[in-house]
Amino acid sequence: MSVPRGDREVEVIALRTAAADIVEIELAARGDAALPAWEPGAHIDLILPTGLVRQYSLAGDPASPTWRIGVLREESGRGGSRWIADRLKPGALLRIAGPRNHFTLPGHAVGDAAPLVFIAGGIGITPILPLAAQARAAGRDVTVHYCGHAGRMPFVEELRGLHGSSLVLHISEERARLDVDAVTAEAASRGAEIIVCGPARLHDAVAQAAEERGVVVHGERFEAEPLSAPMWSGPFEVELALTGVTVTVPTDRSILEVAEEAGALVLSSCTEGTCGTCETPVMDGVVDHRDSILTPAQRQRNDTMYVCVSRAACPRLILEL
C-alpha cells in the first residue's frame, strides 16, 4: 500500500483535554511557511512516527493561522489514537498530507437556501463545528443537535457561543436522547436539509427516517458502511491508462491491490472507503460504488471511484492510473 508521504511538516504547539478521552491538538506551520487554506468539512492525514496514517477533521476556524483537531482515544482501535493520547507532546513534529474535503456545505445562495439541521454524535462534532459556523455566517437558518455522554462532549461552550438557543444538547445520562423521528419530521415540515456526522448507528437511523420523509441528508462517516454483494459477481478487467497495462481483478482482491501489483502508483490509507485517499478518475465503464463518501448524485456521474473497495458493475473499466 502506498501511503501518503506527507507533503509538509507541522509542529504540535498545544495539547488540551477537550473532554474525557478526547484531546484537542493545535498544529502550526514551521518557520515562515503558512498552512494551506481549507474549507469547513476538510480533513488531514496525520502520519505518525510509528508509520500509522490516520485521518482527522479540522475543527477550528479556517481564518486561523493554526489548525485544530480532536482525537478520541479508542482502546479498541488500531493504535493511532492511543499513541497520540499517551505519547504526543508539545513541540513534536509531524508529517501531514492534505487537507482534502469530501464534506462541503450544501448550497451556495444566501437567504433563499434551504434551512440546515446539523446532527453530530460524539467526536463527529469536529467537522460539524466549522460547517455550522460557516452556514450561520452565510445567513443560513441553522439548528445543531449534538448527542453524547456527559463529560465526553467537546466544544460545547464554543457551540453555545456560536448558536445560542439553536444548539440542542442530547445527553444520554440526562435522558435527553435524540428523537430521530421528531427531528426529521420537523426538518421535512421546514424544507430543511440534514447534515450528519457520528457513529454508524446514528447515520443509519437518520438516513432511514429522512428517506421516509423525503428529506435530503448529507453525511460523513468515520466507519465504513457494510458491504453488500457486488453487482458484477465475476472477475473483471481494468485498463490502467497511465501505467499502460490491463489487469484482471479476481473476486477476492481489490482494484487497489491488483493495480499496485501491476506497478501503478495509488495513494491509499484506510482501505475501507472512508478517507478518500485512493480517489481515482473513471474514463470508461460502469462502477459498483461501495464507498462511504460519495452521494447518490455523485455516484450517478460515474466519473470517480475509490479503488480500495469499489468494483466494476460491468466486464471492463478504464481508469486514470
Q: What is the pLDDT of residue 112?
A: 55
How far is the C-alpha of 284 from the C-alpha of 139, rounded, in Å? Answer: 41
Strands 245-249 and 279-284, by their bridges, are: unpaired
What does the domain layout of the chain look like in residue ranges? 8-99, 116-221, 236-319
Q: And the C-alpha cell for 41?
A: 468539512
Contact 68, 24 (CB under 8 A): yes
Single-letter amino acid, residue 21: D
Binned average pLDDT, 10 residues per bin, the chain of 321 residues: 70 95 95 91 91 91 96 79 91 93 73 85 96 94 96 96 97 92 97 94 94 93 81 96 96 95 88 88 96 86 95 97 96
- Give the domain 116-221 fold: Rossmann fold (3.40.50)
Q: What is the pLDDT of residue 106?
A: 82
Supply φ then ψ for residue 222, to 5 degrees.
-90, -15
Q: For 123, which DSSP code?
A: G
CB neighbour list of residue 273: distance below 8 Å, 6 or more residues apart = 224, 225, 290, 291, 292, 293, 306, 308, 309, 310
Q: And the C-alpha cell for 143?
A: 439548528
Fold equal for 8-99 and 236-319: no
Best CA proximity match to 54, nearest among 16, 28, 25 = 25
pTM, rounded to two decimals: 0.85
Which CATH number does the domain 236-319 belong to among 3.30.70.890, 3.40.50.720, 3.10.20.30, 3.60.20.10? Answer: 3.10.20.30
Q: Please, which residues bridge with residue 19 across strands?
A: 22
- CATH 3.30.360.10 fits domain 8-99: no
Listed in sequence order, the DSSP H helices in the chain are 80-87, 125-137, 156-163, 180-190, 200-213, 255-261, 296-301
Instruction: Write the Ramachandran bin of 208: left for phi over 0, alpha for psi from -120 to 50, otherwise beta.
Output: alpha
